[in-house]
Structure 1
Amino acid sequence: MDLDQQIQVLIEQAPQDGTTPRLIEAIAPILKQIAGRLRHPQYYVLQTLNQSWIVTTLNQRSQPGVEKNVVYAFSTLKDVASGPYQLQDPEVLALPMPIAHILFYLISMPGLDGMIFFDTPGNVDIGTEIVREELTKLIQGHMQQLSTPSNNLPPDVA
């Protein structure tokens, strides 16, 4: 499923409250931009049986006491088994998710600092981090541009 199809599914599955589908449409260019940094249309995300993502708390070696909460996203199911989690827990599943859905959920999870995407199959040592704060700032800037009247109009347009 390509990004446009993924976004269309997000819109269709969103609460039909008159706001959420329009919001998804509005932020679609940012979701596409960020997804363009990654190599795959879907990733495997570790989840519990009630669909809660498995969050990992990382500590910075250079700054003791500084932590961040991340979720790992793997390009292949085989890589999940090579990752930091032992999948022997029957309460934990690795489920494929479209990249647009992952990014949309990332912005809606306030306790999460980011996602680490393992793009290269067979390599779970080097990942691409998408920082939630960066994604949120891009979306806010985009929304401000959408709400600002066009500067291309001459000042005497009445």
Structure 2
Amino acid sequence: MNLDQQIQLLIDDAPNDGTMPRLIKEIAPGLKQLAAKLRHEQYYIIQSLNSEWLVTTITNRTLEKRVIYAFPTLQDSFAPNSAELIAAPIPVTHILFQLVALETVDSIIFLETPGEASTGYEVKRQDIQKLIQVQIKPSFNQIPPDIA
């Protein structure tokens, strides 16, 4: 599914409250701009059977952040042998859109190269929020808290 089709699916699946579809249309250029920097149109996210994404805390001496990993292939997702976790394919624009609503997550790390889990492209939540804020016309004073 190409990026335009992904955006249309976001719009089609949005609550028909008069606001959300229009908001998605306005932020679509920003979502597409970010998604175009990534190599894949979909990534695999490890999640629970209740569709809750697996969050990993990364720490070093001076920094702690909570991230979600997005894997390029099902094989790369190396979903733990657990009956409660699965690797689900999710369109890249949907992942970026969800990041806005994930208040406890600092970023998503997109692993771009199959078989290579040591490097990735990080998209920070604050960066996507800034990008979206620029896209929103003045009629939207702020990003709704229940955007995704």
| TM-score strictly above 0.5 | yes
- CA distance in 1 between partners of 2:135 and 2:14 (Å): 21
* Corresponding letter in the other structure for 2:102: M
Q: How does 1:9-88 map to 2 (within 5 A)?
A: 9-61=9-61, 63=62, 66-81=63-78, 87-88=80-81
Unaligned runs of at least 5 residues, structure 2: 140-148
Which residue of the partner structure matches residue 123 of structure 1?
116
Structure showing greater radius of gyration is 1
Q: Does 1:96 align with 2:89?
A: yes
* Corresponding letter in the other structure for 1:147: P
Q: CA deviation at 1:142?
A: 2.2
Question: Deviating runs (4+, > 4 A) in structure 1?
Answer: none
Deviations 1:6-48 (A, max 9, x none): 0000110111111111111000000001101100000000000
Which residue of the partner structure matches residue 156 of structure 1?
none
* Corresponding letter in the other structure for 1:19: T
TM-score (norm 2): 0.90
* Corresponding letter in the other structure for 1:20: M
- RMSD, matched Cα: 1.2
Which residue of the partner structure matches residue 151 of structure 1?
none
Which residue of the partner structure matches residue 138 of structure 2?
147
* Corresponding letter in the other structure for 2:120: G
